[in-house]
Amino acid sequence: MADTVTASKLRALIGQLGRIQGDGSIFYDVEIKDAKIGYGNTRVLIAPITGTGEAWVNRSRVRLDGDPPDDVAGDEGGNDEA
C-alpha cells in the first residue's frame, strides 16, 4: 500500500540536501527547493549546491540520507518534464 503524501510531508522535503545521478557514474549534490504531486508522483524542484539552474524531477531520483537502497525505493519512472 502506497504511503499517503500530505502537505506537511512535502514541506518537510524543502531544504534537504541530497544527490542525483547524472550521466554514467557522475553524481551531483543538490538542494530541494520545492515539492509537489505531479503526474501521479512526488516531484521535487532541485538546484545544484555549486553551479546554477534548477529542474523538477521525480523524488525517487534524489538520494537523501536515510533513503532505502535503490532496489526498494518507490515512486520510480515517469516523465521528468515539469
Q: What is the pLDDT of residues 22-70, one digit of tens each?
A: 999 999 999 999 999 987 899 999 999 999 999 999 999 999 977 776 6
Beta pairing partners, 42: 37
Distance (Å, whole) CA 37 – CA 72: 20
Q: Which fold has domain 7-65?
A: SH3 type barrels. (2.30.30)
Q: Which residue has the higher pLDDT, 65 or 11?
A: 11
Are 60 and 70 contacting, i.e. CB atoms less than 8 angstroms apart? no
The three cell numbers locating residue 39: 503526474
The three cell numbers locating residue 74: 518507490
Domain ranges of the chain: 7-65
- Give pLDDT, residue 2: 58
Q: What is the DSSP letter of 24?
A: T
- The count of C-alpha atoms lying within 13 angstroms of the C-alpha of 48, restricted to the half-sphere facing its C-beta, is 8
